[in-house]
Structure formats: structure tokens, C-alpha cells
Amino acid sequence: MASRAGRQSRIAPKTALLGATRAFRKEIAEFINEFEELRTGEEPVHLEGLEELRGELLPLLKHYLGELGNQIFIRPSESAEQKEFQIRDGAHSMKIIHSYIKGIAHSLRSARLLPNQNAHDVLPHSNANGLFSLTGFRRSSLQLKLVALIIRIQNLFDKQQTMRPKFGSSVPSYGKGKGGNIQKWAALAEENRQVQRDIDSLVQWFDLSESGVLRNRIEMITQHIDGTLLHPIKILKRKNLAYPQALEDTIPIIEFCQVFFHHINEGSHHPFFLMSPAQQFAFIEKATAIPDTLRKFILDIEYDDHPSTLENSEPGQSLIDEFVEISQILTDSCDVLLQSDPSQSDHHLALIQDYRIWHDRWFAELVSSVEKFYSTYKGLFPEAFRSPPASPS
């Protein structure tokens, strides 16, 4: 009986941890779904909700993620008693983090950054520090940053779950062989610390000027594209891929997308910084879709299975179309600037002409890369590009 009771006492914390994890994942999924269905109209903003978010909820979320760094985001102890303590405290901290995710969602609803059909409209007002000038652009930027943060937290727990069975190992094997799982646990702990730094960055974001928010959005776009590059590189490290060629051809496409936004990030000597704030915001709002379009393009590429048909017979075309659209915003604004400001026309003209030469060369190389990929892909799967036979009438 004693041994059975002992087993039950060991199982209980693991069950609690699993239950906390499931509840946490469910809350995050609902949070992200709400953002995906977000109304983007100009609704009133209740600033107290954002004060609570910045001053209380985000710092506390960071604190408890730090607590988990000593509980479930580290290599489990080889001591059964200490391991049980880690699991029990980890389950408790996860429940607290779960409550703070719910608190963030509640705060955003009260601030009208998430849909709330039952709330009364509350007119915006300024606080003593003049903290918020919540323009539509700043609001959409905050939405994007919060979604990115919650997804990072979700990914963090997903990785922890892939390592969770190690908690139930009756014979600890950590450190055996070529380091065992030590490096994986160390990487997980570092990722947790990075999420905490992201929270600090988000808290500091509230103090940015409009131009600071603008530059931050450009950096976010660039970072998302940088992250997309890791996908084909990681897959191509595998051995015995059936169709690596097309995936290899996506790397130059991603790199040309990187170059476009890095060119803006390099400094103020870019026509983007000659545009009016309204034109800059319009440019960035359009450009925000590019990382998602690029990622979808990359994820849809077959490298192991042979497709019977391809849903997209012109892969990469939507990416080119989006670059054409944002480039047109930039070109049109430059044309207006040259016509309306003769006193600066010589200086602006030289800058704009240099940019147009650069852009024409860059765009030609992007299109050429997409065409090369398309040629490779069609060569690999010619039958998948054929039109399906017409159904008999």
C-alpha cells in the first residue's frame, strides 16, 4: 500500500502539470483566434486597460516566466524528490501564467483592442504622463507585438512539451553520450530568457515616439523575414530529402526580401524617410503582409512528397505583386514630393534617382529568382502543373 501511495503522490504533480499545460494552451489559442478576427475600425480606446497591461500584467508575466526557468524550463533533477518539487511548483506557476494571459486578454478588451460586444464605448483621454497617443497605426503595432509575444510563449511551451516525457523517466539519462539533452534544456532556458527580454522591450515600446513606432515596425518585418530563412536552412540539413532543389532555390528569394527592408533600416538616406507620416504608415501597413505571404510560400513547397496537384500554379507571384504595390506607394509619393517642393528638388532628385536605379536592379533579381524557382519546381513535378481534365457534362 505504501508503494502504491508513493506512486500516486508522484503521479499527482505530473497530472497537475499536464492539466495546467492543456488549459494554458487552450487560452493562448483562443487569444490568438480573437486577434485574427479583430475589428480594425476606429473604436474608442479605454486607456486604463493599457496602463494595467504595461504597468502590472506584463511585468508579472515576465516574473512568473522567470520562476518557470527554475522549474520546468531547466533539465529535470536526477533526484526524485527534487524532480517532484520542480513539477509541482511548475504546475502552480503555469496556472498563474494562465491567469495573466487571461488578464491580458481582459485588459485588451477593456482597452477596445479586442472585440467586446457587451462593453460600453469609453472615450479616450490623456493621462498625466501623456503616455498614449493611440493612433490607428500605434494600435495596430501594439496588436502585432502582443500576438508575436503570445505566439513566442506558445512555442516555448510547445518545445517544453516535446521534452516533457523526460520528467517521467525512471532512469535519468541526462548527460550521457554527447551531452545527452543538456544542450536542448540549455537552449530552452535561453529561449525563456529571450521571451522575458521581449516583454521588457514591449514595456519600453509604450514610450516610443510615432517615428520610433514606425522604425520598430520595419524592424519587426525584417526580423520575421530573417526567421523565415531559418526554415529552409533547417530542413536542408536533413539527409535523404527527396526534392531539395526547389527548397534551395527559395533561399535567394528570402534573401532579396531581406535586402529590401534592410535597405530601409540602414539609415535615413532612403526615399521612405521623405514620405509624409501618413504615406509611411500606409506603406508599412501594406508591407506587414509580406512576411506572412513569404512564409506561406515557403511552407507550401514540397520537398519529400510528390504532389498530385498544386493548389498554386504560380508560386511566388503574390509575393511579387505585394512588392509592386508597396513600391508604387513609394514611387508615387516621391513624384509628388518632387513636384511640390522645388527648393529641395535637386537633393531629393539625386536620392530618388539613386534609389530607382537600385530598386530596378533589385526587383529584376527578385523576379529572376522566383522564375528560377518556378522552373525548378515545374521540372520536378511537371504533371502537377497540368490542368485537370474537364469533367464530363
Cβ-contact 260, 323 below 8 angstroms: yes
pLDDT tens, residue by residue, 6-16: 444 444 555 66
Q: What is the per-residue pLDDT for 287?
A: 93
Q: What is the per-residue pLDDT for 200?
A: 95
CATH of 208-388, one of 1.20.1410, 2.40.50, 2.50.20, 1.25.10: 1.20.1410
Enumerate the domain spans of the chain. 1-169+180-207, 208-388
Q: Please return the burial class of 259, using the count of CB atoms within 10 Å of its CB with bins 0-12, 13-18 and 19+.
A: middle
Q: What is the per-residue pLDDT for 130?
A: 43
Q: What is the per-residue pLDDT for 47?
A: 60
Separation between Cα atoms, residue 136 and residue 44, nearest integer Å = 11
Indicate the pTM of the whole model: 0.74
SS3 159: helix
Q: What is the per-residue pLDDT for 238?
A: 86
Cell of 29: 489559442
Cell of 105: 486578454
Tally of residues, the chain: 393
Separation between Cα atoms, residue 264 and residue 157, nearest integer Å = 34
Q: What is the per-residue pLDDT for 145?
A: 87
1-169+180-207 and 208-388, same CATH topology: no
pLDDT tens, residue by residue, 52-97: 788 888 888 888 888 877 777 777 777 777 777 777 777 777 777 7
Q: What is the per-residue pLDDT for 14?
A: 56
Q: What is the per-residue pLDDT for 164?
A: 58
Task: Tell whether the torsion through CA atoms of 385, 391, 392 and 393 is positive or negative.
Answer: negative
10-residue stretch averages of pLDDT, the chain, 393 residues long: 45 57 65 53 55 83 82 73 73 73 70 47 37 66 83 80 55 43 82 92 89 89 91 89 90 94 84 87 90 89 74 74 91 79 71 89 94 89 65 49
- Residue among 324, 311, 306, 302 at smallest CA distance from 249: 302
Mean residue pLDDT of the chain comes to 75
CB atoms inside a 10 Å sphere around CB 263: 15
The CATH classification number of 1-169+180-207 equals 1.20.1420
Cell of 45: 480606446
Amino acid (1-letter code) at residue 217: R
- DSSP class per residue in 286-309: HHTTHHHHHHHHHHT--SSS--SS
Which value, to the nearest 10 degrees, does the dihedral of the CA atoms of residues 294, 297, 300, 305 take? -110
pLDDT tens, residue by residue, 179-237: 457 788 888 889 889 999 999 999 999 888 888 888 899 999 999 999 999 999 999 98
